[in-house]
Amino acid sequence: MFRVNEAVCRDGEDGAVKTAPADESGLCALGQEFAALGRKNDLPFFLVTSFPKADKPGFAANLMLTNWPADLVASYGASDTFASSVLLSRLKATIIPVFSADCPFPAVQDASNGAAGASFRAYGLNSTLAFSLHDRALAHYLIAFSGQRQAPERAEMASIHYDCIELIDTCFGRLVPQDGPREKLSARELECLRWSAAGKSSDEIAIILNISSHTVVSYLKSAMRKLDSVNRMQAVARACRFRLL
């Protein structure tokens, strides 16, 4: 079984990485909860990843928790098909849970090729129930349960979906460190960034905020440092990504 990376599961309110209690398969407590939820619904294999972004599309880079066999994890990571998979394609088109009677992990262009999903079917990952959800900091997750059962009823899918929301909410902050600046930005720094994003120069921002242009430059330099940016444009882009603007 896959041994979860200790950097994924975090204990303590400070989010510090600590050795998490694991069962005989190497799953931490949160992983055990997902595994139990899957078994309860006759879908014994589970997968939790961050939803892939354009700058981080790979399977290994997004993997958080799973009880897939180790060689399946390794081979799927090496295939580089996660971001172009049937599963991702379907989840990008809907916000409701999706069920696939056929293995949805191969790339869209390979979906008609039965051999593409052979390694999954060999381990019993024939059908999959999957959905995406966000935590309270708007981090985006992909969750999938796989097995050999028929499609769940609507009420059962809703129940599984809600149970996963509860798990993510209860264990908020333990999956991954939340994306954000290394230091909190002040209200004035954010104001200067907002006006900069609107295309205003330092002199124009100074007039709007009734402060000196020198002070505006100082606020923007401080914001750039906190956002680890080399210029205003990058600082604005990162502030937008962190949902600060």
Q: Is 215's pLDDT higher than 80?
A: yes
Q: What is the pLDDT of residue 143?
A: 97
Residue 98 tokens read as 């999706």
Q: Is 181's pLDDT higher than 90?
A: no
Domains identified in the chain and CATH numbers: 29-170 (3.30.450.80), 187-241 (1.10.10.10)
Looking at per-residue confidence, does 25 or 3 come out higher?
25
Q: Mean pLDDT, the chain, as a whole number?
A: 85
Looking at per-residue confidence, does 2 or 205 come out higher?
205
Q: Is 176's pLDDT higher than 70?
A: no
Q: What is the pLDDT of residues 19-72, one digit of tens each?
A: 444 555 678 888 899 999 999 999 999 999 999 987 788 999 899 999 999 999
Span 113-142, average pLDDT: 89
Specify the pTM.
0.69
Q: Is 1's pLDDT higher than 60?
A: no
Q: What is the pLDDT of residue 112?
A: 66
